[in-house]
Amino acid sequence: MNLEIKAIAWDECFVSDDSKIEAAILFAWENTAPCECFPGLLESPALKDFKGKPNELALVYYQAPDKSGPERIILAGLGNPAEFSLPVLRMAAATAMRKVRELKLNRAGLVLDQMLCTLQKGGIDRFSEEVLAREGAISAAAALYAYNRFRTKNKERECRLTEYAIVYKKTPRRELAEKTATFVRAVTSGLQLTKDLCNGPANIITPAAMEEAAATVAARYGFKIQVLREREIREVGMGAYAAVFNGSAFGGRLVILEWTPEGTEHTAPLVFLGKGLTFDSGGISIKPAAGMHEMKSDMAGAAAVLGMCEALASLNCPNRVVGMLACAENMPDGAAMRPGDIVTSLSGQTIEIQNTDAEGRLVLCDSLTYAEQTYKPKAIIDIATLTGACRVALGSEIAGMFCTDEELQKFALTAGELNGDRAWPLPVWDEYFENMKSIVADMSNAGSREGGAINAALFLKQFISKDQTWMHLDIAGPAYNEKGNALREPGATGFGLRLMLDIAMGWK
């Protein structure tokens, strides 16, 4: 998506035909005239049937008295102010931008002053202007994404928009508009990378391709990059990690990106670790055929970490951050791990393989040990499409959160409520580890079906020191959805990027 995102004054939108905004996005409450509109707009016949209900649209072909202004105004309904939430704003903005896509326009703008004026007149004061501007603007941009890399025909979903403007009408809004545009550019770029990797087929998006994508980000923004390939992974003692890729022709890659702003060289970093199974057949414990094609998305955690790295570099993150992509492929050939095998992890603990489809925790456990030993981090946050049990428990919109630090958990839960990457805290009670014990090794990699997401988190906890701050995010539900909506196409959602970005940028 080749899209220019910028902040621009209203008067500058119509200097020439080349810069003219073809559609302006406005908002209105239910059964209420839109505030701060344009002369003559309220007389448009297109508004006669517009009620302002949630996601309702009115397309107005507009001609200002002085011949300036957009050719079209897209008015998006917000519903009843008493029922307002940030998801309502996100969906309204995305629905309006979907109309822009449908019209195959080249240039469109979201009028920041009008959106904020409307929200304020509706009594919405529990969110800051910065949050409202950010969520409205980024949601409109998100609606433009479509994955068309391999389409040679029927490309009607392709977006033609080349310019998306955050428009301010009054000079005092300029700084907010520019800050919003900077944020939208960074996050849109990161989300596009994340979704493209996650939507890509497993024969193209291999562990080596993940390494290549990370190298591109590193070169663009100045990250230090380190890559442990199959031989290095085995040599350092990551027996659990190596067991996962033994059956694959593509091998494995532990890709590490380091962001170290000047003056932070000696500070403990935040480490973000993503599960990067570029395809998960289940191995010898093979998955059912139905839906197996979606297992190309089992690297959604690693893709989100890489997308976050792109975004935080664009925003010039002031904190030291390490991004780790634990990439592999789980396939059933003659060299693949078997149920009953015992492997030795980097920590020295032994693991009985009871289910080869519980492979994500094997690449993560060794990577967690490596992260703690190498970086002595301030905190480790791992993110993974780890268990179907978490999707059963929390559905397809919410991640499971397991955290050993109350302050980090509180920060992340609050951030998720504001940015849409919502999570729900689940316990990591040590007594549940009884489910993971083995009679022939220190532990097994699979416990009982009951409490499956908790069992997986507790397995990972065995590889974290007692004094190490750690959070595990199970994104098996929200990372990849078959059903799309105005905000997203079916497929990869980019979930987790914004939550991690907020932690990287703001957690102290």
Q: What pLDDT band is residue 188 in, cutting at 50, 70 and 90? A: very high
Contact at 8 Å (CB) between 57 and 76? yes
Contact at 8 Å (CB) between 73 and 62? yes
pLDDT in tens, 298-308: 999 999 999 99
Q: Catalytic amino acids?
A: 287, 361
Side chain identity at 265, as an amino acid letter? E
Q: Is the per-residue pLDDT at 426 higher than 90? A: yes
pLDDT at residue 399, rounded to an integer: 98
Please tell me which of 15-29, 60-74, 197-211 the model is most confident about, judged by mean pLDDT: 197-211
245 and 148 share one domain = no
pLDDT at residue 67, rounded to an integer: 65
User: Average pLDDT over the chain, rounded to whole?
Assistant: 94
E strand or H helix that includes residue 195: helix 174-199
Mean pLDDT for 175-184 is: 98
Q: Is the per-residue pLDDT at 36 higher than 70? A: no
Mean pLDDT for 189-208 is: 98
Q: What pLDDT band is residue 41 in, cutting at 50, 70 and 90? A: confident
233 and 125 share one domain = no
- Residue 3: count other Cβ atoms within 10 Å of its Cβ: 17
Phi-psi category of residue 157: left, alpha or beta, with phi > 0 → left and psi -120 to 50 → alpha: alpha
Q: Is the per-residue pLDDT at 295 higher than 90? A: yes
User: Cα–Cα distance between 122 and 240 in angstroms, integer?
Assistant: 56
118 and 237 share one domain = no
256 and 177 share one domain = no
Q: End of a domain among 150, 184, 218?
A: 184
As given in the structure block, the two tokens for residue 120 are 């304020």
As for how many domains the chain has, the answer is: 2
| Residue 35 lies in domain | 4-184
- Residue 270's nearest CA partner among 223, 314, 322 is 322
Side chain identity at 161, as an amino acid letter? L
pLDDT in tens, 248-272: 999 999 999 999 999 999 999 999 9
DSSP helix/strand/coil, 449: coil
Phi first, then psi: what are they for 425, rounded to 5°? Answer: -70, 135
As given in the structure block, the two tokens for residue 343 are 């492997």
User: Cα–Cα distance between 100 and 114 in angstroms, integer?
Assistant: 18
pLDDT at residue 40, rounded to an integer: 72
Q: What pLDDT band is residue 366 in, cutting at 50, 70 and 90? A: very high
Residue 360 resides in a domain = yes
Residue 56 resides in a domain = yes
Strand partners, 352: 342, 444
Residue 506 resides in a domain = no
Mean pLDDT for 118-137 is: 96
* Choice among 33-37, 221-225, 451-455 with the minimum mean pLDDT: 33-37
DSSP helix/strand/coil, 465: coil
Q: Is the per-residue pLDDT at 364 higher than 70? A: yes
User: Cα–Cα distance between 386 and 293 in angstroms, integer?
Assistant: 17
Mean pLDDT for 311-317 is: 98
Q: What pLDDT band is residue 157 in, cutting at 50, 70 and 90? A: low
Q: What is the DSSP letter of 12?
A: G
Tokens 């910065």 belong to 130
346 and 483 share one domain = yes
Contact at 8 Å (CB) between 41 and 24? no
CATH number of the structural domain spanning residue 44: 3.40.220.10
Residue 210 resides in a domain = yes
Tokens 């107005």 belong to 60
Contacts of 267 (CB under 8 A, 6+ apart): 319, 320, 378
Task: Please state whether beta strands 491-492 and 480-481 pair in parallel, antiparallel, or not at all (unpaired).
Answer: antiparallel
69 and 31 share one domain = yes
pLDDT in tens, 54-76: 999 999 987 776 666 788 999 99
Mean pLDDT for 113-128 is: 94
pTM for the whole structure: 0.96
Phi-psi category of residue 347: left, alpha or beta, with phi > 0 → left and psi -120 to 50 → alpha: alpha
pLDDT at residue 46, rounded to an integer: 82
Mean pLDDT for 31-49 is: 77
As given in the structure block, the two tokens for residue 65 are 């008295």
- Residue 288's nearest CA partner among 195, 388, 398, 391 is 388
pLDDT at residue 156, rounded to an integer: 61
Q: End of a domain among 184, 217, 248?
A: 184
Residue 503 resides in a domain = no
Q: What pLDDT band is residue 159 in, cutting at 50, 70 and 90? A: confident
> Residue 331 to residues 6, 283, 285, 352: CA-CA distances in angstroms?
45, 5, 10, 18
139 and 232 share one domain = no
Residue 445 resides in a domain = yes
171 and 246 share one domain = no
Supply the DSSP string of 375-444, one letter for each residue.
H--SEEEEEE---HHHHHHH-SS-EEEEES-HHHHHHHHHHHHHHS--EEE----GGGGGGG--SSSSEE
CATH number of the structural domain spanning residue 489: 3.40.630.10
Q: Is the per-residue pLDDT at 282 higher than 90? A: yes
417 and 300 share one domain = yes
Residue 486 resides in a domain = yes
402 and 427 share one domain = yes
467 and 422 share one domain = yes
Q: End of a domain among 184, 216, 248?
A: 184
Task: Report the chain's C-alpha Rg in angstroms.
Answer: 24
470 and 381 share one domain = yes
Side chain identity at 99, as an amino acid letter? K
pLDDT at residue 232, rounded to an integer: 98
User: Cα–Cα distance between 178 and 180 in angstroms, integer?
Assistant: 5
Residue 14 resides in a domain = yes
Side chain identity at 86, as an amino acid letter? L
